[in-house]
A and B are shown apart, each in its own frame.
Chain A
Amino acid sequence: MNRRRRPKAQGLKKEPTGIPGFDEITGGGLPSGRPTLVCGSAGAGKTLFGMEFLVRGATLSNQPGVFISFEETDNELATNVASLGFDLQQLVADKKLLLDYVFIERSEIEETGEYDLEGLFLRLGHAIDTIGAKRVVLDTLEALFSALPNEAIIRAELRRLFRWLKDKGVTAVITCERGEKTLTRYGLEEYVADCVILLDHRVQNQISTRRLRIVKYRGTSHGTNEYPFLIDEQGVAVLPITSLGLNHKASNAFISSGIPRLDAMLNGKGFYRGSSILVSGTAGTGKSTMAAHFIEAACKRGERALCFAFEESQDQIIRNMRSVGIELEKFVRKGLLRFRNARPSAWGLELHLAMIHKYIDEYEPVVVAIDPITNFFTIGDATETRSMLTRLIDFLKIKQITAMFTSLTSTGSELERSEVEVSSLMDAWLLVKNIESNGERNRGFYILKARGIAHSNRVREFLLTDHGIDLIEAPVGPEGVLMGSARLEGNGARRKSRKGTLK
C-alpha cells in the first residue's frame, strides 16, 4: 500500500473507486469515461463492487451515479447493501444516485420482425441526464441474452451501447457472469476492451477466499497478481499484499521483552524496535506467557498492543495470564490492548493476512503478538505459508511494529522444517525446551539468535511463577546444565564449598 508512483506522462485519466486497495493496484481507479467489465461467477461480489463504485463516487468524488439493475429491484438492492452502511435511499433523495430496475420476462415477449434496444438507450440516457451522472453501473447486462430471443440483435446493440457510453463520457461498470471457457458467458470482453476485472471466489480445503485480478487495463500499468479481497461491514476491500522488499528502516532503539532477566541476556536492553521475534517451544512450555509479558510491558509503557490468538479466546487468555500474575484486562479496558481471536480454519491464508493488515491499519499498534504462527501451516502448504509470513513480516517491518510470534514444536523431534524456514525471516529466535533429567521435567531456555545484539549463550532455567516468567541462571555441573532440584542441590553444594573455603 505504498504510494511510490512516478509521475506519468499525461496518461489515461482515472476515476478513483474509493474501494480501499483497488485504487492502489490500478494506479488510480477505473479508466475515466470508459466502460469496465467486471466478471465473476455467482456470488463473487460483482453487484457490490458496482454499488460501492457508485456510492463512493457520490460521497467522495461528488459524482452522481446511475445503477441499472437487471436482477434485483430497487428495494432489494437498498436492503442488500444497507448492511454495509450504504444508505441508498438518502443518496437517491439527494439526487446523487438513481436506481432503475429493468425487468424483462421472457415468457411475456413475442418477437415479430426487426427491432433495436433504443428503449434501453433512452431510458439510460434519461437517467443519466436527470441527475447529471458521471458513473453508470449495468448489473448484469447479460440478462438481455436470456430475455430476448435474437442474439444477433443484442450483440449489435451492445456494441452500440458501449460506444454510446464512451460518447456520453460516463465511467461505466458492466458486470458479467463468468463463462466456462471465456471470461464472460457471452463473450462480452470482445466489446469492452479497455479494462477487464475478474472476481473469483475459490474454495480450497473447504476454506473460501475471494480474489480479484485485473485481466486487462489498456494504456496503463497495473498490478497483475491475484489480490485477495474482503467483503465486510464496510464494503469491498482489496488487499494488495505483495512482498514489499527489503528496504525498510532499521531502528536503533530498543524495546523491552517484559522479562528483566531476558533483557539482561540481550545486552541489558531487549530487542530492537521493529524487529520480529520468534519464540518456539514444545507444548506447554510457556510461549504464550512470554508473549503476554511482552504485550504487558508495551501496555505499561502506554503503547498500543494487538494480539492475534488462534488457539484461545480473549477471556481464556486473560484468565490464564492472571494465574501467572499478568493482568491484561485493565489494558483492554483502557483501550491499549486488543485481541483478535479466530480459528485458523476460519479463513484462507490470504484472508488471514488480509485481516491482519486491516486490523493493524485500523488500530495502529506499536507491538503485535501472533500466537501461534505454526497453525498457519495447517491451512496451507509450506511454500504458501512461508510466502504469507514473509509478506506479513515485511509489512510489520515497514510499519516499524515489533512483533512476537510463537511457534509450536512437536515434542521429541528436532526443529521442524517449517520452523527453520520461518526462523530465517526472524531477527531474534528464542527457544524453550523441556529437558528431562533426574526424574523431573524442567524447562530450559536459550537465545538461538538475536541479530545485531550481543546476547548470552547460556542456557537458563525457565520458571513459570505466580508473578510470571523467571529465567534462572543454571549452573553447569560435570553432567551438563543443572536444573530443578539438581540446580538447587548444586547451589547448595557450592555454597557449602564456598563456606568451606572461607573457613
Chain B
Amino acid sequence: MKTAPKKTSRGKSNGHASPPDGDSRRWNLRLYVAGQTPRSLTAFKNLKEICEEYLKGKYYIEVIDLMENPTLARGDQILAVPTLVRKLPHPIRKIIGDLSDTERVLVGLDIQPR
C-alpha cells in the first residue's frame, strides 16, 4: 500500500489518535487484504475516509497483508478479502468487501443504528 505511507507492511496506521492505550472509547480496526491489489487499495482508502469522517481521533487501523502472513488468517477466521474486523469495541464485527457502500459500513461497524 504504497499510497498509504503512514503504515508499514504489517502496518499500523494511526488516525490522529495517540498510540493504543486503555481508552475504552477507542476503535480498534483491522483490515485484512491479500496483496496490493486495486481492491485492497480501494478498501483502505474507503476505510480511511469513513474513519476520518465519523471516528476522527478515536480510531486505530491495523492492515494485515495475508500474502505476507498467511498464518494470521486463522486467528480472525478470514476467508474473504478484503475483510474489516472491528476488534474493539466489543463484540467483534466483520465487514467484507471493498467498503464502497459507506452506509453499510457504518451499519456494520455500529456507528449508525440499523
Binding site for B on A (CB under 8 A): 100, 102-104, 108-120, 122-123, 125-126, 144, 147-148
Contacts and interface: CB of A to CB of B under 8 A. Distances in A.
Given A112-B98, A112-B100, A120 B70 contact: no
Contact of A122 (B34, B94, B95, B96): B34
Interface residues of B, number: 32
A104 B78 CA distance: 8
A113 B74 contact: no
Contacts of B39: 114-116
A117 B78 CA distance: 9
Interface in B74-101: 74, 77-83, 92-101
22 contacts: A102-B77, A102-B79, A104-B79, A109-B94, A109-B95, A112-B95, A112-B97, A112-B100, A112-B101, A115-B82, A115-B83, A116-B39, A118-B35, A118-B66, A118-B80, A119-B34, A123-B66, A123-B70, A123-B78, A126-B70, A144-B79, A148-B79
Given A122-B67, A122-B70, A126-B70, A117 B79 contact: yes
Contacts of B77: 102-104
Contacts of A123: 66, 70, 73-74, 78-79
B71 interface: yes
A116 B42 CA distance: 14
A120 B74 CA distance: 10
Interface stretch (B6-14, B20-28, B51-59, B104-112): B104-112
Contacts of A112: 95-101, 104-105, 108
A294 B66 CA distance: 71
A115 B96 contact: yes
Q: Is the interface of A mostly helix, strand, loop or mixed?
A: mixed
A119 B34 CA distance: 7
A111 B79 contact: no
B10 to A, nearest CB: 15
A69 to B, nearest CB: 12
A157 to B, nearest CB: 9
A148 B97 CA distance: 11
B60 interface: no
A73 to B, nearest CB: 12
A144 B43 CA distance: 22
Contact of B108 (A104, A110, A116): A110
Contact of B98 (A113, A118, A120, A122): A113
Contacts of A111: 95-97, 104
Given A122-B67, A125-B70, A110 B80 contact: no
A110 B93 contact: yes
A126 B96 CA distance: 21
Contacts of B93: 108, 110
Interface string B28-54: 000010110001000100000000000
A366 to B, nearest CB: 56
A89 to B, nearest CB: 18
Contact of B32 (A109, A119, A125, A126): A119
A213 B108 CA distance: 45
Contacts of B32: 119
Contacts of A120: 79-80
Contacts of B82: 115
A116 to B, nearest CB: 6
Contact of A114 (B67, B79, B98): B98
A117 B97 CA distance: 10
A23 B64 CA distance: 44
Residue among A115, A117, A120, A126 facing the most chain B CB atoms (10 A cut-off): A115
A100 B77 CA distance: 10
Nearest to B100: A113
Contacts of B105: 110, 112
